[in-house]
Amino acid sequence: MTVVDGPVPVLDVRGVTKTFPGVIANEDIDLTLNQGEIHCLLGENGAGKSTLVNVIFGLYKPDKGTVKVRGEEVKFAGVGEAIEHGIGMVHQHFQLIPVFTVAENVILGDELTNGPFLSMNEARRRIRELEEQYGLIVDPDAKVGDLSVGEQQRVELVKALFREADILILDEPTAVLTPGEVDDFFAVVRSLVDQGKSIIFITHKLREVLAVADRITVLRNGRIAGTADPATATQQSLANLMVGRDVVFQVDKGEAHPGEVALRVEDLSVEDERSVMTVNGFSAEVRAGEIFGIAGVEGNGQRELVEAITGMRRKAGGTVEILGHNATKLTPRKIAELGTAHIPEDRNKHGLVGSYSVADNMVLNKYSQAPFARRWVRNTSAVHDEAEELVEQFDIRTPSVDVPIDTLSGGNQQKVIVARELTGDVDLLIVAQPTRGLDVGSIEYIHQQIIDRRDRGAAVLLVSAELDEILSLSDRIGVLYRGRLVGVFDGADATREELGYLMATGSTPDTEEVAS
């Protein structure tokens, strides 16, 4: 018998099919994972990546197909059995309990006990061990709700490693991380591989894929679209394989023609939940027909700034003028009615109502206006028509506009918000992290839409943690540092290095000399 004497894959998925009502999320998927490798899974939003890994993790039961772990065929009745087989997963949406401590989150479900009682000391000891072994720094006694996203990410990894997982599934772990956190994260991933772990890694960031992957598999519409070799693949070739057409990375942007001032913010101060002035004396003007990008390391007041301008947060001082009206004390709804559209940073909290249908979410900002309502009575058929049109136009993958929006893939949820906010009369567009978690094709489309809006005379305030996004879209770039603009650049001649330095230190190299 001639057996190809390659390594036995630690994970071997054959012919997996998984359907949800109205959607074939996975169809006849084959996938292998070898010992000690990083296998990247790519695909558009809604391609079925999360579904596939949830099947492997035992959370979903496949309709057809088999999963073999280290050569042994498994049929998991639940997640518990997958964990016993050494599979660990970091979910796309964190599965942490905010009011528990790190240690409690880590041991939950696999508790360390001393007689009948929990042994938290033992838990702390084990967490410290993992910390040393893999460079995952976490405080076992911190409350998870108080941690930054990057720290929560580490807790998720510690959870998996604590259960002695050697097959790790990472579902878009870098989507919410800042550039610095991404570097730390990859350092950890490398140390994991060095110690013999095998990793399935899902991401939309092609640069990351080329940097870390040993093998690449691309999904499209629930099927395998192809595989690629990281040695020869390019970002362009991967993108084309994902989307099935040519993707343009460089946004095509004409000159800006700034007009009247649409947004004027003067000396704005805003407090966060802990009563810290995170926005402190912020002043800026955004004119009709220009995109003003705000760059800055996360946590320098971006969130509070956007919430204050859109009326969601109390202002401690200063004024906001929108389209010639004093908007300092207006409610979010009044501000929206002035002609402002807002794509919020936290889509689940501020952008969507999870249990409402896609259609209802599409009209959240105009449900009470004609034609969607006549006096107090809603016109559901108008809502329905509008939603179907937008789903078509923005290529949103959903079985129908009537399903609850939280059954959509993460990226498609984001597209619903973008579709809603970019339709209708918009004179001022406020966008925060508009393409977080989106695939390259969707990013291209949304960028084009934002520029389109600008060309039709809207003023755009863009806040993003992605420096590339800021650089490619903005006509002017402001750097936010500790709640205040520390520099404003012309979009055409700003450089990554210059912005990066200012973002990190709050000053440019020459002025620092003056100060010292």
Ligand X SMILES: Nc1ncnc2c1ncn2[C@@H]1O[C@H](COP(=O)(O)OP(=O)(O)OP(=O)(O)O)[C@@H](O)[C@H]1O
Which CB, 50 or 152, lies closer to Mg ion?
50
Site for another protein in 17-56 (CB under 8 A): 54
Containing 12, the helix (H) or strand (E) segment is strand 11-20
Q: Which is nearer to another protein, 250 or 275 (CB)?
A: 275
Report the nearest approach of another protein to the CB of residue 82 (Å): 8
Residue 351 has what DSSP assignment?
I
Binding of ligand X by 25 (CB under 6 A)? yes
Start-to-end Cα distance in the chain: 77
Give the Cα separation of 350 and 312 in Å (integer): 10
Strands 23-33 and 476-481: unpaired
Stretch that binds another protein, among 185-193, 211-219, 243-251, 256-264 (CB under 8 A): 256-264
Do the Cβ atoms of 278 and 270 come closer than 8 Å? yes
Q: Is 407 in the site for ligand X (CB under 6 A)?
A: yes
Structure tokens at 130: 């993992």
Among 11, 12, 27, 46, binds ligand X (CB under 6 A): 46
Find which of Mg ion, another protein, ligand X, none residue 95 binds, CB within 5 to 8 Å per kind. Answer: another protein
Instruction: Pick the binder of ligand X from 32, 51, 217, 357 (CB under 6 A).
Output: 51
Site string for another protein, 436-475 (x = CB under 8 A): ---------------------------------------x
Using rule CB under 6 A, residue 365 touches ligand X: no
Least distance (Å) from another protein to the CB of residue 97?
A: 5
Q: CB under 5 to 8 A by kind: which of ligand X, Mg ion, another protein, none does 24 bind?
A: none
**3-class DSSP string for 261-288:** EEEEEEEEEEECCCCCEEEEEEEEEEEC
CA–CA distance, 291 with 461 (Å, rounded to integer)? 6
The whole-angstrom separation of Cα 139 and Cα 101 is 9
Asked whether position 424 contacts another protein by CB under 8 A, the answer is no
Pick one of another protein, ligand X, Mg ion, none as the site partner of residue 504 (Cβ within 5 to 8 A by kind): none
Q: Which residue is nearest to Mg ion (CB)?
A: 50
Please, what is the minimum distance in Å from the beta carbon of residue 89 to ligand X?
A: 13
Residue showing tokens 């966008």 = 431
Task: Supply 144's token pair.
Answer: 């998870």
Q: Which residues face 343 on adjacent strands?
A: 431
Candidates 30-38, 66-74, 270-278, 459-467: pick the segment binding another protein (CB under 8 A): 270-278
Taking CB under 8 A as the rule, does residue 162 contact another protein?
no
What are the backbone angles phi and psi of residue 392, rounded to the nearest 5°?
-65, -50
Q: Which is nearer to Mg ion, 168 or 327 (CB)?
A: 168
Under rule CB under 6 A, how many of the chain's residues touch ligand X? 20
Q: Pick between residue 11 and residue 47 the one whose CB is nearest to ligand X.
A: 47
Mapped onto helix, strand or coil, the DSSP state of residue 199 is strand
Q: Which member of 43, 258, 293, 311 binds another protein (CB under 8 A)? A: 258
Give me the torsion for CA of 340, 341, 345, 347, rounded to 10°: 140
Question: Which pairs with CB-CB distance under 8 Å and at least 24 residues apart come from 274-282?
Answer: 277/316, 277/483, 278/303, 278/304, 278/483, 279/304, 279/305, 279/308, 279/483, 279/484, 280/482, 280/483, 280/484, 281/318, 281/483, 281/484, 282/318, 282/480, 282/483, 282/484, 282/485
50 binds Mg ion (CB under 5 A): yes
Paired residues of 308 in beta bridges: none
Q: Which does 45 bind (CB under 5 to 8 A by kind): another protein, ligand X, Mg ion, none?
A: ligand X
Phi, psi of 182 (to 5 degrees): -60, -40
Cα–Cα distance measured from residue 305 to residue 269, given in angstroms and rounded to the nearest whole number: 8
- If one asks whether residue 290 binds another protein (CB under 8 A), the answer comes out as yes
**Which residue ranges make up the site for ligand X (CB under 6 A)?**
20, 23, 25, 43, 45-51, 92, 397-398, 407-412
**Which residue ranges make up the site for another protein (CB under 8 A)?**
54, 57, 59-61, 78-83, 89, 91, 95-100, 104, 107-111, 113, 116-118, 159, 255-259, 271, 274-278, 280-281, 287, 290, 316, 475-476, 481-490, 502, 506-508, 511, 515
**Which residue ranges make up the site for Mg ion (CB under 5 A)?**
50, 92
